[in-house]
Chains A and B, each alone.
Chain A
Amino acid sequence: MLNIINKSPLDRGSLDTCLQSADAGAILLIEDGVYAATKGSAGEAKLKAAGGKFKIYALGPDLEARGIADRVMDGVTLVDYGGFVDLVAEHKTSQSWL
């Protein structure tokens, strides 16, 4: 499963619920979801605590738009929209945790 998160982890519980519910797989952070991947943030702590259970991706254009592309935590793979498409294709299902 590709889990897509588009909410800041400090605004809504989407990331928390996803981390606690979803079976192992991939998480793609898009839109305001990309704030979770920033160094020194509460989101980073949550993603680190989830250990290696999920492969974490973040959408580069959304990071750049928000001025945080240079603050991405270790262990997060950046993708562009083409990479987003590839991730959807690689996983049997996707779920947007709206």
Chain B
Amino acid sequence: MTTKKFMMVNRKAPYGTVYALESLEVVLIAAAFEQDVSLAFLDDGVYQLKKGHQTKGIEMKGFEKTYGALEDYDVTKLYVDQESMAARGLTADDLCVPVEVMSRAELGKMMEEQDVVLSF
């Protein structure tokens, strides 16, 4: 099968809308199709990776663990925008998985290298 470079760009916070969860589902399927998958987190999307989700009180399924499981699907390219984290008082230590922190300009260059960019 043809392998293409897919990037899922996540710019929305979790739980307030469904996009973060349904984006993860696309990531898992793309990995199952053995595509070259990467994830970018910008703006409120960085909140998706904030560790310590406790969703019992809102009775919604938490999906923090899924980010941790991405490695099992060989999805290891997680890029986070430094500026978005700084604007939200977060550092890489606050995140639930290891990521590569980069500048917006560097992220833009990564986007340029993709075959398919899906933004949620």
Contacts and interface: CB of A to CB of B under 8 A. Distances in A.
A adjacent to B, CB under 8 Å: yes
Given A95-B9, A95-B111, A20 B119 contact: no
Contacts of B9: 95
Given A13-B43, A98-B11, A98-B120, A93 B104 contact: no
Q: Is the interface of B mostly helix, strand, loop or mixed?
A: mixed
A23 B42 contact: no
Given A95-B9, A97-B11, A21 B115 contact: no
Contacts of A97: 11, 119
Nearest to B83: A20
Contacts of A17: 11, 42-43, 104
A94 B108 contact: no
8 contacts: A1-B111, A1-B117, A17-B11, A22-B108, A23-B112, A93-B111, A94-B117, A97-B11
